[in-house]
Structure 1
Amino acid sequence: MSNSLHLSELVSAISTALDMTEGQPIGHCVRSCWIGIHIGQEIGLRDQDISDLYYMILLKDLGCSSNAARICQLYLTDDQKFKHDFKKINGSLPQALRFVLSHTGLQASLSERFQAIIKILQDGGEIAKELIETRCHRGAEIALKMRFSQKVAEGILNLDERWNGTGLPSGVSGDDIPVFSRIALLSQVVDVFHTSEGRHAALEEVKSRSGTWFEPDMVKAFEKVASKDEFWETIKDPDLENIIQDLVFPTHDITVDEDYLDDIASAFAKVIDAKSPFTHGHSERVMGYSDLIAQQMGVPYHKRRWLRRAALLHDIGKLGISNSILDKPGKLTDEEFAIIKMHPVFSVNILKNIIAFADISPIAGGHHERLDGKGYPHGLNDNEIDMDTRIVTVADIFDALTADRPYRAAMPVEKAISIMDEMVDSAIDSQCYKALKSVIQEVSALNTSLQETLAKVGIKETA
């Protein structure tokens, strides 16, 4: 990997996936970053703080996937549309009531919708706290795993706090709210309203929340920034990502080495797997199985390291799919299955624009293809599917069969193997599958040996 790979460009590019999860127009985090950086400079933040603010705003939604399933469950709705529209309400009781009535259970039966609305009206405060607390704590935790500073993590943790103390999850107020959080929340609201309704609407919305959501002096700072036409014109520039990087990092930036890249891939896999309770740990298990298969096949270490990243990020496109479809317990309609089949396409679109991960995008895009040409999304034939993709495909199928899914419980390994036996040379590669079975046999033998050893010394196996 070239030493010219900078952390700023990597994070900026990966923020696209977070936009998808939040149901926001692509570029939301980048545009919010542009807005926030200017506010930060206007209030006199020093260069190092501006650098941290850059990362905090781009990663403000790191924990957003962790409450998607719960939103679907509670509101019986599409989590992405819910999140998109929720960012426009100001928290007043009339707006909140209208929002609940217009977004709860529209496709559910009348009785289900009625029960859901009653529960939300009764327990609305606790529900909101639960959803935001889950997102904020998870986001801060992942930011630290990605090696960002405590200031960045604290900024994410307190994103939804308000100047007057009516925010969540802790209800802190005024200067007790980290300055990064205050800037990021204001910037987020500006982008949401500017993108949907224009410059004037964004300014009016911010001023209307001065003293409640936002610090009055910070609103004044934004008004100064917003008085310049160039500020608004640049937001529309297709090269905005690079413009921000040049503004924040004119002479220096952090370079990303191989170890750091591994950490980022591993941390972001947690964002992907948090999207659904049925995919908890999926990416890490697929990574593990893929690595063992590759090792069994004699793939050298440096190539396996690259393959592990591909396995960790192979499902990144699922961040763009609503949990109302991902977690549906019954049979998917043709329309719903067509949407599911788009997740490898989304994966490619995200990864190909991230320099560090562009070369793994074909694996993410092809892991649901079959050797007989009956896979998706492109119906590739065996001579169009490389060995790296075949390895991840076998690992992915094995984990899918042996883990819980919305429509069935996890299968025993023996049953999964019997199903995969029938897929050889039609869906999956025989060489990769042979390697998987060898790995399973070795693990089983080691487990048996371990149990026998524990029994000999009088230690019983615990669950």
Structure 2
Amino acid sequence: MEFPKEDVCVDMHRVLFEIAYALDAVGYDEIYHGHRVAYIAYSCAMRMGWSEEKAHKAFALGLIHDCGVSENSELDVLLTSFIPQETQRHCIKGYELLQACEPLNHFAIPILYHHTDWRQLSEIPDISDDDKQLSALIFLADRVDYLQCSRPYDSYGNVTSESKRYIAAELSANAGTIFNPSIVESMNELLTCDDFWFSMELRHIENLSSQFVHAFANRSQTGLEESICVAELFAQIVDAKSSFTYQHSNHVARLAEYLAGKLGYSPQTCRMLYLAGLIHDIGKLKTPSSILHKPDQLTDDEYCCIKRHATDSRHALENMFKDSLVIDWAANHHERLDGSGYPLGLTAKQLDGPSRLVAVTDVFQALTQSRPYRAGLSLEKTLRILEELVDDGKLDRQVFDCISANREVCYRISTGCEYLAEPA
């Protein structure tokens, strides 16, 4: 089964912003932390006379610097102490995630060392001077944001002169030991500039980045396999919000690719469906954890929050994937053939085969997967429920028949068991 040949690509510029938004959703009390760190780092880099390319890289690193944070306890440490302890774990995890993601692996080293004291960092061999300086700048920018957020603002929401002096004094007291002294000097000069503070707002930060080209040179758009790499990185970030959601997306992706092959889709389309499975629930990052994990029946308001994730997924995907079929295949996973689904209420005429396939695999996997509040259903009970939905005109019969014919393999994929090849 063929679809128009599509060169799937992801816009890496927008991916970095979506990572920053995703990290906000994981648990920061102070949202847009990544945006502000990016802005602070870029502003300081430009004041120091760094090249535009290097300053743009500092901006990008600021957006994603905390991609390795995976637990609320790690967030608490970062947000309650000026010089946080036990930061190594999230630095190492961030390094590993980025190193495994080819389009972003050039950011891995600075992220690994972005909480390393300058005295130690300056002596580490086999790291380029640029990476040392970038790590040191991100560390300092991160702590400037911590300090300004921990201080009271004036009655109009602006940083007070007293807070500016306090921040500068804290940086100076640690220059040459924890922080790079030359960067501290430039940062303290920057802190006295009113425009620097007045421009630290979301609209300006996003507009500012639209000028950047060098940070993403030859990497601004990538192919299908690189896009999958980025999607797998997002899956790891989702894991920080909810491990069962992360496992759900991974298993839906594997199951969708397997069924697509059985249904005769081209290898390219099979991989695109794997990608769609990985990213179909990305909007759940904005769903409150209390609702995701609630064991009881949802209220109308809570169900509205759940339904919103499909729209949030579409918007995030539209930012990263331009005019791609994958967007619809992923975002339509709660639509139903009879028009009873959400969020658009699409009908059979508006839902193509891949969209139908993702919808069926989503339901099958959700039923078979154990959640914090219930055990997964048996294969037999899952198939009975699915068949009722098919008979009611909600889900696609052809996809259901394919699952039924390959039920044991589908169940193993869906429940995360080791995949065993079917006998020849």
TM-score after normalising by structure 2: 0.75
Partner of 2:263: 297
| Residue identity in the other structure for 1:206 | I
3-state secondary structure, aligned to 2:65: coil
Distance in 2, Cα, partners of 1:149 & 1:266:
12
Looking at structure 1, the residues matched to 388 and 165 of structure 2 have their Cα atoms a distance apart, in angstroms, of 63
Rounded to whole Å, the distance in 1 between the matches of 2:181 and 2:301 is 48
Measure the CA separation in 2 of the matches of 1:324 and 1:133: 29
Displacement of 1:19 after TM fit? 2.8
Deviations 1:414-449 (A, max 9, x none): 332122122114332112212222333567999597
1:222 correspondence with 2:187: yes
Q: Deviations over 1:331-360 (max 9, x none)?
A: 444443332332222212222222448653
**Change in 2 beyond 3 A, CA 1:150/1:366:** closer
Find 2:93's aligned residue among 116, 135, 138: 138
SS of match in other structure, 1:367: coil
Equivalent residue, structure 1, for 2:221: 256
In the alignment, what sits opposite 1:180?
134
Q: Does 2:52 align with 1:40?
A: no
CA distance in 1, matches of 2:143, 2:20: 17
CA offsets, 1:36-66, max 9 Å, x none?
Answer: 12223444656665454333222112223x2
Q: Which amino acid aligns with 1:256?
A: Q
Listed as ranges, the gaps of 5+ residues in structure 1 are 72-81, 93-124, 165-171, 454-463
SS at match of 1:152: helix
- Does 2:167 align with 1:206? yes
Gaps spanning 5+ residues in structure 2: where? Answer: 1-5, 125-130, 413-418
After superposition, the Cα gap between the structure-2 partners of 1:5 and 1:360, relative to the gap in structure 1 and judged at 3 Å, is closer
Q: Give the letter for the 2:108 counterpart.
A: A
Between the two proteins, the alignment pairs up a number of residues equal to: 394
The DSSP-based 3-state class of the residue aligned with 2:253 is helix
Q: Answer with 25-34 or 408-417: which moved more.
A: 25-34
Q: 1:133 to 1:421 in 2, by over 3 A?
A: farther
Answer yes or no: is the 8 Å Cα contact 2:113–2:121 preserved in 1: no
Native 8 Å contact 1:190 1:203 kept in 2: no
TM-score normalised to structure 1 length:
0.70
Q: For 1:62 and 1:240, locate their aligned partners in 2 and report how far apart those are by CA, in whole Å.
A: 19
Contact 2:32 2:202 in 1 (8 A): no
In the alignment, residue 182 of structure 1 is paired with which amino acid?
Answer: A
CA distance in 1, matches of 2:19, 2:207: 14
Distance across 2 between alignment mates of 1:26 and 1:359: 31
2:25 aligned residue: 20
Cα distance change of structure 1 residues 191 and 372 upon mapping to structure 2, 3 Å threshold: farther
Residue identity opposite 2:370 in structure 1: D
The 8 Å contact of residues 35 and 187 in structure 1, kept in 2 or not, is answered as yes
Letter in 1 for 2:396: D
Residue-by-residue CA offset, 1:316-341 (whole Å, 9 max, x unaligned): 11222233332344444444333233
Q: CA deviation at 1:215?
A: 5.0
- Would you say the 8 A contact 2:54–2:215 is kept in 1? no
Mapped partners of 2:165, 2:279: distance in 1: 40
CA distance in 2, matches of 1:292, 1:416: 18
Matched, 1:53 2:8: no
1:165-187 C-alpha deviation (Å, 9 max, x unpaired): xxxxxxx7887795434322432
Shift of 1:287: 1.0
Cα RMSD after superposing both structures: 4.0
Give SS of 1:198's match.
coil
Is this contact kept in 1: 2:103–2:226, CA < 8 A? no
Q: Provide the C-alpha distance between the structure 2 equivalents of 1:155 and 1:173, rounded to a whole number of angstroms.
A: 11
Aligned pair partner of 1:399 in 360, 365, 368: 365
Instruction: Report if the CA contact (8 A) 1:313-1:364 is conserved.
Output: yes
Aligned residue in 2 for 1:155:
110
User: 2: CA distance between counterparts of 1:388 and 1:3?
Assistant: 15
Closer/same/farther in 2, CA of residues 348 and 444 from structure 1, 3 Å limit: closer
Cα distance in structure 2, aligned partners of 1:402 and 1:209: 54
Letter of the 2:337 partner, please give it. L
Q: Would you say the 8 A contact 2:249–2:278 is kept in 1?
A: yes
Instruction: Give the structure 1 partner of residue 397 of structure 2.
Output: 430
Identity of aligned residues (%): 27
Contact in 2 for aligned 1:290/1:311 (Cα 8 Å): yes
In 2, the alpha carbon distance for the partners of 1:25 and 1:444 equals 41
Distance 2:213 2:273 in 1: 33
State the match for 1:95 in structure 2.
Answer: none
Bigger shift: residues 378-387 or 441-450: 441-450
Contact persistence 1:402–1:413 (CA under 8 A) = yes
